[in-house]
Chain A
Amino acid sequence: MNFILSHGPYFLCLAIICIALLGIIINGNYLKKLLCLGLLQTGTIIFFVALGRVNGGTPPALECFDLEKCGAIVDPLPQVLMLTAIVVGLATTAVGLALVIRIKQNFGTIEEQKLLELEKD
């Protein structure tokens, strides 16, 4: 029971990542693949932010510069790295969606099986 409280958030984040990976493999529809990719990104970012958590720590906006007097701060480095990753995820989702719309306009379908059959002809 103890390891659920100590490592539980990590397990749940890894489960979100694996479920999203399953979604990408199973779904033949390109739009669903794109949405599961977004879920994969969300799970990864929660995992990274959870790495930096410190018990009783304050958010990384300093009230005073003396660290011993003002208490613990959570680790700022994972948060900085994930900040830009979120906006980059939006940009890649938009590019992916534009390509999916183009595929639909040119071939009439975004199902993988039907596209493979069209390619064989």
Chain B
Amino acid sequence: MRKRVDHPIQSLIVIYVTRFLLPFIFAFGIYIQTHSSNSPGGGFQAGVIMASALILHSIVFSATSTLKVIPFNLLLIFACLGMATYLTVGLSGALFGKTFLDYGIFSNKFIEAQELGIFSVELGVGFAVFGTVCIIFYSFVQGELEEENT
């Protein structure tokens, strides 16, 4: 078990409850992302909730340990991947001769096509918001290092 002197927060209760709760928070975010077409929720809410799980981990255990699990470059890739997904779905409509963001190209039955289009677009939004909120938080935490180097 890791030495407790490394953690910013020393209280046993906080450490154990955080370890217990983190997968549930992440699973709740994924639930909201996947059920966006049937219940309140969507990409924006899911992205922020998943980012909150990561931020909770870095508050209780130090940000260094979180960044060892998910490095900063991977968060940047997540954000760009989300935007690229949205752009790809939009441009694929234009490439096949219809308008930008036309979901009719995915299938012949319109309900399937709309569901597929909406699901992929919300997935892109979820990734982009998750990556961006995490990037914002970690830039604030690492800003001290930049001031020390200059």
Residues of A within 8 A of B (CB): 59, 61, 83-84, 86-87, 90-91, 94, 97-98, 101, 105
A61-B39, A87-B48 given; 10 more Cβ-contact pairs under 8 Å: A59-B40, A61-B38, A83-B44, A84-B44, A87-B44, A94-B136, A98-B140, A98-B143, A101-B140, A101-B143
How many B residues touch A, CB cutoff 8 Å?
A: 14
Q: CA of A86 to CA of B48 in the docked complex: distance in angstroms?
A: 11
Min CB distance, A108 to chain B, in Å? 13
- Residue on B with the closest CB to A95? B136
Interface residues of B in 32-52 (CB under 8 A from A): 38-40, 42, 44, 48
Say yes or no: B48 contacts A91, CB within 8 Å: no
Residue from A84, A87, A90 having most chain B Cβ neighbours under 10 A: A87
Given A87-B129, A91-B132, A98-B140: A105 and B44 interface contact (C-beta under 8 Å): no
Min CB distance, A77 to chain B, in Å? 15
Q: CA of A105 to CA of B148 in the docked complex: distance in angstroms?
A: 12
Contacts of A98 in B (CB 8 A): 139-140, 143
- Residue on B with the closest CB to A93? B136
Residues of B within 8 A of A (CB): 38-40, 42, 44, 48, 129, 132-133, 136, 139-140, 143, 147
Q: CA of A87 to CA of B39 in the docked complex: distance in angstroms?
A: 20
Contacts of A90 in B (CB 8 A): 133
Interface of B is mostly: helix
Interface of A is mostly: helix
Min CB distance, B143 to chain A, in Å? 7
Min CB distance, A95 to chain B, in Å? 9
| A-B contacts, 13 listed (Cβ < 8 Å) | A59-B40, A61-B38, A61-B39, A83-B42, A86-B44, A87-B48, A91-B132, A94-B136, A98-B139, A98-B140, A101-B140, A101-B143, A105-B147
Q: CA of A121 to CA of B132 in the docked complex: distance in angstroms?
A: 40
Contacts of B44 in A (CB 8 A): 83-84, 86-87
Q: Which 10 A-B pairs have the closest CB atoms?
A: A94-B136, A87-B44, A61-B40, A61-B39, A83-B44, A105-B147, A87-B129, A84-B44, A101-B143, A59-B40
